[in-house]
């Protein structure tokens, strides 16, 4: 057995999430099925981030132990061919052989997510399913400034799904930035860029939902702080939809 | 009758192109049908750029003369509602009342297109249908440098569809730039940015196809120049696919 590390991109739309589930389509399940078609008897693929239903990834990281001594380029090519033939919008961008001590989930020291918003009344066309269409203009500077309150170690109970299984609601947000991205899209795409060692279930989407309230002027920065301090899920704004969220990197 | 100017975004995938055709789905036809549902009896919508089948627009400009004295915001909202209900991936981003002397097509002094390439062996997922997936690495600097040969007034017969109906193959390219776009996508998206008063049929896609040959090392800059000088459609490289092309702006 040798351990392989994969960098993986996917369109989250058709999946119930990263995690394998008996009766539903998952990214992990699709990858394991593709490895199985390559002759690997019972492969398990471990991902760095267990993305939710509908959430995209541009650079998820995963590992698997394979029975055959694959050349990394060959296993990447074979997986991409099987995934394409199976109609799975999943692509392996990179593959390397790694030491057995590497674990995609437990060795990760930082996860990096981007949440994309297009603030305009007109429906999305080219970016449909690729960003959250907020129907009003947002004050990006106000969002960025208020967001800085969330940096550091906090009890994020307010920004955590009631179904979250993490033992503690205390997490450390390494950074958060809200900015307009220079693209040809009209108006500019707003990106919320967050990084932390790990996140609670729905944490990024809960933060995005709260920052939207700040951007629209419904909440002040003080309201955001009060919401954090409440440590009460009911103090959160509506959670932002999954199709605006991208796992864009994992640091080891 | 009053004249209205529209800024329009669309996903070109389901359309046979901008131009109305009796038995096929077109952007112009969808817009005219939506105006008809608003009670306008026989609206004609004139577009600045007659984009081809599958080509996208982020800021097409069009005008139409309407019978009723619409408030611009109202007609934009009503059109977007009708387009959404009809399942048309077309959005009106802006609308204003303009003088009768304004003509979306004939008053335009410059069209601006972007051609997007993702150069990697792995299939596209999130960007499927939104960029050309070239299966090898491309030398962006070589592409940019060679492309400068095309700036200025030239006989672009080589880079023109045999079905092109323009009277003259001579056009003036105002600028062309090839660059990597900083995004989270892996690898970086390559953008070919071109602007001219007007373009021949398939000109941008023909240029993109030729620059891909330069980027892959199959053609030198001299080969590109020889291809231009040949003034022969047969001297062109394979035309790049439509789904990488975006009309991103029109100058008046």
Taking alpha carbons only, the member of A64, A77, A62 closest to residue A18 is: A62
Whether the ipTM is more than 0.90: the answer is yes
Mean pLDDT of chain B: 96
Kind plus residue range of the DSSP H or E element containing B7: strand B2-10
Question: Which token pair is B73?
Answer: 């915001």
At a CB cut-off of 8 Å and minimum separation 6, what does A156 contact? A169, A170, A171, A200, A203, A228
Distance CA B44, CA B65 (A): 7
Beta carbons of B46 and B1 less than 8 angstroms apart: no
Q: Please tell me the predicted confidence (pLDDT) of residue A182.
A: 77
Catalytic status, residue B52: yes
Q: Which of B52, B85, B99, B223 is catalytic?
A: B52
The residues near B225 (Cβ < 8 Å, ≥ 6 apart) are: B149
Predicted TM-score of the model (pTM): 0.95
Residue of B nearest to A119 (CA): B93
Spatial separation of the C-alpha atoms in residues B10 and A124, rounded to whole Å: 9
Helix (H) or strand (E) holding A194: strand A189-196
Residue B155 has pLDDT above 90, yes or no: yes
CA dihedral A9, A14, A18, A23 (to 10 degrees): -150
pLDDT of residue B218: 98
Whether A231 contacts chain B with CB within 8 A: no
Distance separating alpha carbons of residues A113 and A204, to the nearest angstrom: 8
Cα–Cα distance for residue pair A130/A184, rounded to 1 Å: 15
pLDDT over 70 percentage in chain A: 100
In order of their start, the domains of chain A are 2-98 (3.30.70.580), 110-251 (3.30.70.660)
User: Cβ B93–A120 below 8 Å, yes or no?
Assistant: yes
Does the bond joining B121 to the residue before it have cis omega, within 30 degrees of 0? no
For A81-110, write each residue's pLDDT tens digit: 999 999 999 999 999 999 999 999 999 999
Confidence at residue B77, expressed as pLDDT on a 0 to 100 scale: 97
CA-nearest residue of chain A to B9?
A125
A249 to chain B, any CB pair closer than 8 A? The answer is: yes
Residues of chain A in contact with residue B80, where contact means CB-CB under 8 angstroms, are 121-123
Supply the pLDDT for residue A163.
87
pLDDT value, residue A185: 74
CB contact under 8 A, B11 and A130: no
The proportion of chain A whose per-residue pLDDT surpasses 90, expressed as a percent, equals 92
Paired tokens of B8: 């329009």
Mean predicted lDDT score pLDDT of chain A: 96
Phi, psi dihedral angles at B197 (to 5 degrees): -55, -45
Is A235 in a helix, a strand, or coil? helix
Q: How far is B3 from chain A (nearest CA, A)?
A: 21
- Decide which of B164 and B93 is more confident: B93
Read off the pLDDT of residues A20-75 as tens digits, 9 standing for 90 and up. 988 899 999 999 999 999 999 989 999 999 999 999 999 999 999 999 999 999 99
Q: Which of A187-191, A246-250, B39-43 has the highest mean pLDDT?
A: A246-250
Mean pLDDT, range B47-74, rounded to an integer: 96
Q: Is residue B162 very low, low, confident or very high in pLDDT (cuts 50, 70, 90)?
A: confident
Backbone angles phi, psi at A7, to 5 degrees: -105, 130
Nearest to A183 by CA among A126, A132, A142: A126
pLDDT of residue A159: 96
Question: What is the Cα–Cα distance from B115 to B135, expressed in whole angstroms?
Answer: 16
Q: Cβ of B126 and A11 within 8 Å?
A: yes
Average pLDDT over residues B73-86: 97
Closest residue in chain A to residue B59, using alpha carbons only: A186
| DSSP state at residue A76 | H
Q: Which long-range contacts (CB under 8 A, 24 or more apart) does B150-155 make?
A: B150/B176, B150/B207, B150/B224, B150/B228, B151/B175, B151/B176, B154/B228, B155/B231
Confidence category of residue B187, pLDDT binned at 50, 70, 90 = confident
In chain B, which among 150-189 make CB contacts under 8 A with chain A? 184-186
pLDDT higher than threshold 80 for residue B27: yes
Alpha-helix residue ranges (DSSP H) falling in B102-217:
140-147, 203-216
Q: Identify the residue with better confidence: A30 or B166.
A: A30
| Cβ–Cβ under 8 Å, residues B208 and B238 | no
Tens-place pLDDT, residues B82-130? 999 999 999 999 999 999 999 999 999 999 999 999 999 999 999 999 9
Give the CB-side neighbour count of residue B205, counting CA atoms within 13 A. 23
Q: Say if B92 is an interface residue toward chain A (CB within 8 Å).
A: yes
- Min distance B107 CA to chain A CA atoms (Å): 22
For residue A64, the model assigns a pLDDT of: 98
Query: How many of the other CB atoms lie within 10 Å of CB of B170?
Result: 12
Structure confidence at residue A90 (pLDDT): 98
pLDDT at position B113 is 98
């Amino acid at each position: 057995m040798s351990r392989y590390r994969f960098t993986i991109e996917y369109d989250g739309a058709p999946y119930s999430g990263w995690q394998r589930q008996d009766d539903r389509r998952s990214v992990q399940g699709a990858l394991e099925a593709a490895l199985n078609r390559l002759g690997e008897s019972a492969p398990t693929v471990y991902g760095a981030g267990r993305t939710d239903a509908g959430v995209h990834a541009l650079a998820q990281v995963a590992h698997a132990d394979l029975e055959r001594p694959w050349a990394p380029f060959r296993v990447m090519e074979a997986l991409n061919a099987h995934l394409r033939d199976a109609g799975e919008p999943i692509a392996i961008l990179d593959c390397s052989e790694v030491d057995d001590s590497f674990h995609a989930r437990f060795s990760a020291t930082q996860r990096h997510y981007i949440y994309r918003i297009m603030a305009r009344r007109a429906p999305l066309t080219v970016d449909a399913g690729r960003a959250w269409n907020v129907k009003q203009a947002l004050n990006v500077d106000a969002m960025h400034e208020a967001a800085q309150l969330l940096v550091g170690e906090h009890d994020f109970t307010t920004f955590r799904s009631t179904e979250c299984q993490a033992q503690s609601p205390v997490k450390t947000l390494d950074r958060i930035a809200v900015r307009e991205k220079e693209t040809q899209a009209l108006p500019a795409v707003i990106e919320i860029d967050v990084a932390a060692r790990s996140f609670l279930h729905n944490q990024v989407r809960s933060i995005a939902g709260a920052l939207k309230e700040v951007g629209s002027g419904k909440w002040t920065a003080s309201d955001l702080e009060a919401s954090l301090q409440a440590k009460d899920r009911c103090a959160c704004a509506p959670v932002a939809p999954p199709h605006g969220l991208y796992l864009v990197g994992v640091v080891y």
